[in-house]
């Protein structure tokens, strides 16, 4: 099954059925990473370019591994050592990369809307690996896969997303994704970190951490993004951690079968304590494992063949 679109730019534009198809394809790809020889020939001859204008550990590595496990050729462009550092525009970079006939460009950029712009410049597929505070679709898909795997469903679950909502592309993509799949989403954080009008995205809003934790089936903690804060949005890191950091004491108010997610990288002792991040409710490393399967599914559904072929030998 191929997606009926050239690009994956955001979760907002996806229909529920498309999300479900990506998740079920990712489930079938998980098995490949458990094999001794972690490679299938499905995308042999395809070329993927990772174009990252911002730092990344999980997303970039995961897209590269996903491409290689599908036998595609993966090329990583580090902006600091490319001609972007000499002032080359996005359009020129795009046109020059396109001249080398890639099948897909995976892009991360600090400005919202860059993947959409890039898509207009090139005929190959474009995958958004995170644009400003806008969207991070592959992160939300791997989060949904992790929850579905653990809870058996998403429909009817209560998800609380806690932290710096204003700067979080992860929060936006997850609000779109989880609400489309029937979950009840609440966002929580200090008033200075929740932009007005969040309810329009279909979620509830609270500034009370106790309320956000109580009754949640899934708690998603967000990283405090120091690099995106132009002004100080809370008095001190210590104050933030006391009020909105998740530790064992606050977790006592959660359901017995709650699960904890965090997209990473984590600020230990700020938004999440080490005992929670490394504790029995945490699925943080499962999220990373699922990231490879989700990105294999994305490549497959944009560049590959049929759903049946995913059950390759």
Contact residues: ligand CP, CB under 6 A: 56-59, 130, 139, 263-265
Annotate 143-196 with DSSP letters as a single string: HHHHHHHHHS--TT-EEEEES--TT-HHHHHHHHHHHHTT-EEEEE--GGGS-T
* 205/271 with CB nearer ligand CP: 271
For residue 57, the minimal CB distance to ligand CP (Å) is 4
* 220/302 with CB nearer ligand CP: 220
For residue 60, the minimal CB distance to ligand CP (Å) is 6
For residue 142, the minimal CB distance to ligand CP (Å) is 9
* 237/288 with CB nearer ligand CP: 288
* 46/295 with CB nearer ligand CP: 295
The residue with tokens 């309810």 is 199
Using Cβ positions, the residue closest to ligand CP within the complex turns out to be 59
Q: Is the peptide bond before 265 cis (omega within 30 degrees of 0)?
A: yes
* 12/88 with CB nearer ligand CP: 12
The Cα–Cα gap between 286 and 143 comes to: 9
For residue 108, the minimal CB distance to ligand CP (Å) is 8
Report which secondary-structure segment, H or E, holds 77: strand 73-78
C-alpha to C-alpha distances, 175 to 35, 202, 232, nearest whole angstrom = 34, 7, 25
For residue 102, the minimal CB distance to ligand CP (Å) is 21
In this structure, the number of other CB atoms found within 10 A of the CB of residue 218 comes to 25
């Amino acid at each position: 099954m191929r997606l009926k679109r050239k690009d994956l730019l955001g979760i907002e534009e996806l229909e529920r059925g498309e999300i479900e198809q990506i998740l079920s394809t990712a489930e079938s790809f998980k098995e490949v990473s458990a094999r001794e020889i972690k490679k299938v020939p499905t995308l042999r001859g395809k070329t993927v370019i990772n174009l990252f204008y911002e730092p990344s550990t999980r997303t970039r590595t995961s897209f590269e591994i996903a491409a290689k496990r599908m036998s595609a050729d993966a090329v990583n462009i580090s902006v600091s050592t490319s001609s972007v550092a000499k002032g080359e525009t996005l359009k020129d970079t795009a046109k020059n990369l396109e001249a080398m006939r890639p099948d897909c460009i995976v892009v991360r950029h600090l400005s919202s809307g860059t993947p959409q712009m890039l898509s207009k410049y090139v005929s190959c597929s474009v995958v958004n690996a995170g644009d400003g505070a806008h969207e991070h679709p592959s992160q939300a898909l791997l989060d949904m896969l992790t929850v579905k795997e653990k809870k058996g469903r998403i429909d009817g679950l209560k998800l609380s997303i806690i932290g710096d909502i204003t700067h979080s592309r992860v929060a936006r993509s997850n609000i779109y994704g989880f609400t489309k799949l029937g979950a009840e989403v609440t966002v929580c954080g200090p008033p200075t970190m929740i932009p007005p009008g969040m309810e329009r995205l279909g979620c509830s809003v609270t500034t009370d951490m106790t309320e956000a934790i109580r009754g949640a089936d899934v708690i998603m903690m967000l990283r405090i993004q120091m690099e995106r804060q132009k002004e100080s949005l809370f008095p001190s890191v210590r104050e933030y951690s006391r009020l909105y950091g998740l530790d064992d004491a606050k977790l006592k108010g959660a359901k017995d079968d709650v699960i904890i997610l965090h997209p990473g990288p984590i600020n230990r002792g700020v938004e999440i304590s080490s005992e929670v991040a490394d504790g029995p409710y945490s699925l943080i490393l499962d999220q990373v494992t699922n990231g490879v399967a989700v990105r294999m599914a994305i490549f497959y559904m944009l560049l590959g063949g049929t759903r049946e072929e995913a059950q390759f030998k």
